[in-house]
């Protein structure tokens, strides 16, 4: 392996998204800019008896479009999403992995939960039919590192490879750690992001018991996710994957690749406060934001857009707003802080990948996606969230935040190429 090199420029050249808003980056982005909701009634299990009956489900998905059908059956839905998003990202970036030294390509695709569907299905088999009927593929299918492992096998990538698990900060951490690997010379190309498929009876039962999910809009699913709105009452679970192709700027320019954005800063911190509630002063997230800006040499006044974690829960939206105000000062009133979770729902470990993709598209197109369902202002969430309509703006620098149970925080800073 070549000696580590410090501070190589790292750029995004490919985007792959699997989501309720579409399975191509074009359909996903067009839906976001149009303010289209991907939420609807739960169809993946019988929601009778559940307090939340709304989900953001991936439709029209056939894993055999992306991998061998036999291999697809051996893997959990979350791994299928990861492979599909990777195939999409490689095609979007016009990158043939066989044209790159396989030892210099890594994969870091995390999941907050892993194979929830497999756990639920095989538990049922155990209790109804006994231990001898449990699938020999159960363990490989359910563990949360398997998305990275299977993707690497599919594309022949022998570089850095493991699974990051940090709840809803997973995708951001996977991209950030991949950024550092390339910048330091440990890899030349990284396939990075998150994947999640936890819309199951067991997954919903747990979150409903925590009273974390929306319950007031079961009859109007598209209105259920409403970040920063005073009537928000909980998040809505989504599923899917968001994967970015990261590579050195030198390599990208050498092969004539389109560059969406440069990653310039990343930081991960912990609130050290509570297993599920964010720090009420926003200290941990504020530190992650400041550290990421400092690493990128970006002043607060340079940031045009923040893709908020914005889960539509009472505490998160309030404390995230507070953290942004502390870090950005007066400039907090000038930037836009919108939440695409209003349309995609909360993809848990995949959220960071999908929302990083939204930042890259905002830089490329000059459109900032809205926060839909914003109807009644909350004085605790008083920043510009692009209410209900996309905003056209020259986006030089975009930031994305993600927070996870356990107090995990992650912030990524993207800059327009050449800016």
Where does 128-235 show beta strands of DSSP type E?
Answer: 189-196
At 173, which helix (H) or strand (E)? helix 170-183
CB atoms within 10 A of CB 123: 13
Active site residue 346: yes
Contacts 24+ apart (CB under 8 A), 33-37: 33/365, 33/367, 33/369, 33/390, 34/390, 35/343, 35/369, 35/370, 35/372, 35/388, 35/389, 35/390, 36/343, 37/221, 37/222, 37/225, 37/342, 37/343, 37/372, 37/373
Query: Among the options 346, 359, 360, 381, which is catalytic?
Result: 346
State the chain's maximal CA–CA distance in angstroms: 64
Distance CA 5, CA 142 (A): 36
Report helix angle 77-92 to 146-155, nearest 10.
Answer: 40
208 tagged catalytic: no
Which is catalytic among the residues 52, 173, 309, 385? 309
The catalytic residue among 52, 168, 360, 381 is 168
Tokens of 180: 């550092």
Q: What is the DSSP letter of 400?
A: E
- The count of other CB atoms within 10 Å of the CB of residue 87 is 19
Closest CA relative to residue 286, chosen from 318, 319, 263: 319
Would you call 270 a catalytic residue per the annotation? Answer: no
Q: What sign does the CA torsion over 379, 236, 66, 189 have?
A: positive
Whether residue 191 contacts residue 155, with contact meaning beta carbons closer than 8 Å, is answered with yes
Answer for the pair 88, 18: CB distance below 8 angstroms, yes or no: yes
Separation CA 103–CA 47 (nearest Å):
46
Distance in Å from the first CA to the final CA of the chain? 32
Tell me the catalytic residues: 168, 309, 346
């Amino acid at each position: 392996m070549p000696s580590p090199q410090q501070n190589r420029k790292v750029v995004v050249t490919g985007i792959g998204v699997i989501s309720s808003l579409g399975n191509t980056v074009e359909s996903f982005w067009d839906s976001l800019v149009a303010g289209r909701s991907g939420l609807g009634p739960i169809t993946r299990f019988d929601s009778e008896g559940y307090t939340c009956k709304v989900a953001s489900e991936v439709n029209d998905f056939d894993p055999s479009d992306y991998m061998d059908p036999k291999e697809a059956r051996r893997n959990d839905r979350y791994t299928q999403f990861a492979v599909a998003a990777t195939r999409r990202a490689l095609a979007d970036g016009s990158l043939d992995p066989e044209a790159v030294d396989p030892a210099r390509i890594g994969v870091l695709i995390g999941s907050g939960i892993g194979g929830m569907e497999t756990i639920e299905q095989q538990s049922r088999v155990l209790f109804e039919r006994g231990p001898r009927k449990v699938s020999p593929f159960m363990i490989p299918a359910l563990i949360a590192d398997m998305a990275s492992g299977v993707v690497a096998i599919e594309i022949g990538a022998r570089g850095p490879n493991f699974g990051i698990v940090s709840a809803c900060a997973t995708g951001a951490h996977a991209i950030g750690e991949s950024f550092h690997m390339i910048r330091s010379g440990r890899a030349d190309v990284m396939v990075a992001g998150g994947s999640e498929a936890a819309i199951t009876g067991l997954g919903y039962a747990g979150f409903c018991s925590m009273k974390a999910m929306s319950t007031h809009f079961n009859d109007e699913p598209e209105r259920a996710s409403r970040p920063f709105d005073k009537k928000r009452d909980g998040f809505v679970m989504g599923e899917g994957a968001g994967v970015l192709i990261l590579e050195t700027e030198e390599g990208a320019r050498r092969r004539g690749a389109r560059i969406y954005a440069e990653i310039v800063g990343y930081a991960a911190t912990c609130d050290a406060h509570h297993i599920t509630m964010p720090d009420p002063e926003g200290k941990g997230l504020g530190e992650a934001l400041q550290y990421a800006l400092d690493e990128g040499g970006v002043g607060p006044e340079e940031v045009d857009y923040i893709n908020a974690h914005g889960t539509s829960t009472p505490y998160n939206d309030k404390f995230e707003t507070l953290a942004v105000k502390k870090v950005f000062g007066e400039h907090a009133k000038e930037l836009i802080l919108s939440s695409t979770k209003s349309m995609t729902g909360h993809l848990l470990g995949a959220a960071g990948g999908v929302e990083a993709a939204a930042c890259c598209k905002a830089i490329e197109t000059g459109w900032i996606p809205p926060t839909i369902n914003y109807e009644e202002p909350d004085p605790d969430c008083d920043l510009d969230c692009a209410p209900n309509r996309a905003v056209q703006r020259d986006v030089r620098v975009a930031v994305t935040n993600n927070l996870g149970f356990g107090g995990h925080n992650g912030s990524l800073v993207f800059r327009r190429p050449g800016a």
